[in-house]
Amino acid sequence: MKTGMKKPLSFAAMLGMLATMPALAHHSFAVFFDNEQGVVSVRGVVTEFNFKNPHGIIRLNVKGKDGAMQEWKAETNSPSILERRGWKKDSIKPGDEIVVEGWRARDGANYMRMRKVTRADGSPVGVPFESMEVR
């Protein structure tokens, strides 16, 4: 361990330095998603499935209570993790009817973190997570 002496930075100088610090790439689950409200579930028709790290994205059209169509996005765990649970880039295709369970975005957007995806026949896509393994 080195013990080189350096002139300490002033508080203002250090604050300035920190202001230029890069943000973290990986967004925080706890900050972005509402775990306190529990799991929400939406049923819809897939329009797009993008299976790339850091997270996959499922876009789907969901019929709202008023009958109007809404677009939802469901963010998946990292595909590299999901591949070990049986997922593939074509596990979900446009036109598929699915049910997505997950945690909704704290800002109330039609955006969620997926926990489980079920097909119209009730079968799960891949091996669902037992616990909140979320990143």
Summarize as ranges the residues that interact with other proteins (CB under 8 A). Answer: 1-2, 4, 9, 11, 14-15, 18-19, 21-32, 50, 52-55, 57, 73, 75, 78, 80-81, 83-84, 109, 111, 130-135
Nearer to other proteins, 4 or 95 (CB): 4
Q: How far is the CB of 78 from other proteins (least distance, A)?
A: 7
Least distance from C-beta 34 to other proteins, angstroms? 11
d(CA 135, CA 126) in angstroms, rounded, equals 17
Which is nearer to other proteins, 38 or 122 (by Cβ)?
Answer: 38
CB closer to other proteins, 50 vs 61: 50
Buried b (16+ CB within 10 A) or exposed e, 23-40: eeeeeeeeeebbeeeeee
**With contact defined as beta carbons under 8 Å apart, do 96 and 45 qualify?**
yes
DSSP-derived secondary structure letter, 20: T
| Cβ contact 53:79 at 8 Å | yes
| Residue with smaller CB distance to other proteins, 120 or 127 | 127
Q: 3-state DSSP call for residue 113?
A: strand
Closest distance to other proteins from the beta carbon of 121 (Å): 28
